Amino acid sequence: MLIGASTGGPAHIEKILSRLPAPLPFSIVIAQHMGAEFLPSFVQRLRLKTSHDIVLAQEGMSLCSQRVYITSNTTTLQLHNSLLHFSVQNSSTARFNPDIDALFTSFTQLSNLKNILAIILTGIGDDGINGCIALASRGVRCLAESQKTAIVYGMPARAKEQVSGVAVLDLYEIIEQIKKFGGV
């Protein structure tokens, strides 16, 4: 499961994770726009507020189920010897930290995309939209937060306008869709 968020995202991510049972039968990879220096404290806060195994994605780390990964910089997934590993690059050309588009797009290399759900939450701008378009074109289900619950209706509005077949839902409806999708 992939989640991209910007302004207003930390509280929404906390709400999502606090309403999901632990351990999860799947993994969640989150790209929350935030300065790299603040990400470790964000991970720590989520650990304290939820019962999930939450880590900051590191270079070479393998993607495992039952874990929540918080990304930084330009984080992508690389397929190597049938395993998915994180690649974390500090990019001076990336518009955002972390880069949601880079993360989402990296998942298009997988042959079995039916087990992926991509979600765009509250935020300014358009990061994640190109990644959602690439995933949706490969059959991935994409969700965008509604204007009713988004703190800032920028990224979700762009998703609604540009991503074919995107479902626009309130935050609590997104949580229910995550549960249904993950079988929890």
Model confidence pLDDT, tens digit, residues 140-169: 999 999 999 999 999 999 999 999 999 999
Q: What are phi and psi of 165, to 5 degrees?
A: 80, 10
Identify any residues that bridge with 70 across adjacent strands, giving them in sequence order: 30, 56
What pLDDT, in 10s, does the model give residues 107-147? 998 877 888 999 999 999 999 999 999 999 999 999 999 99
At 119 the three-state DSSP class reads strand
> In this structure, what DSSP letter does residue 153 have?
B
Asked if pLDDT for residue 2 goes beyond 90, the answer is: yes
* pLDDT recorded at residue 56: 97
pTM score: 0.96
Phi-psi map region of 125: left, alpha, beta (phi>0 left; psi -120 to 50 alpha):
left
Q: Are 109 and 80 in contact (CB under 8 A)?
A: no
Burial of 47 (0-12, 13-18, 19+ CB in 10 A): middle
Strands 2-5 and 68-70: unpaired
Q: Given CATH 3.40.50.180, say whether it is the number of domain 2-182.
A: yes
Is-catalytic flag, 85? no
For residue 126, the model assigns a pLDDT of 95
Give Cα 27 to chain centroid, integer Å: 10
Which residue out of 12, 33, 72, 106 is catalytically annotated? 33
Q: Indicate the domain borders of the chain.
A: 2-182
135 or 184, greater pLDDT: 135
Reading the block at residue 26, the tokens are: 């799947």
Residue 33 a catalytic site member:
yes
**Region 13-30 average pLDDT:** 96
Report the C-alpha gap between 19 and 178 in whole angstroms. Answer: 10
Q: How does pLDDT run across 78-97, given as a tens digit for each residue?
A: 988 888 999 999 876 667 78
Choosing from 6, 72, 106, 146, which is the catalytic residue?
6
- pLDDT tens for each residue of 37-89: 999 999 999 999 999 999 999 999 999 999 999 999 999 999 888 889 999 99
Question: What is the SS3 assignment for 103?
Answer: helix
For residue 44, which phi and psi values (nearest 5 degrees)? -60, -40
Residue 1 has pLDDT above 70, yes or no: yes
Whether 21 shows a pLDDT value over 70: the answer reads: yes
Which one of the listed residues 12, 72, 127, 146 is annotated catalytic? Answer: 127
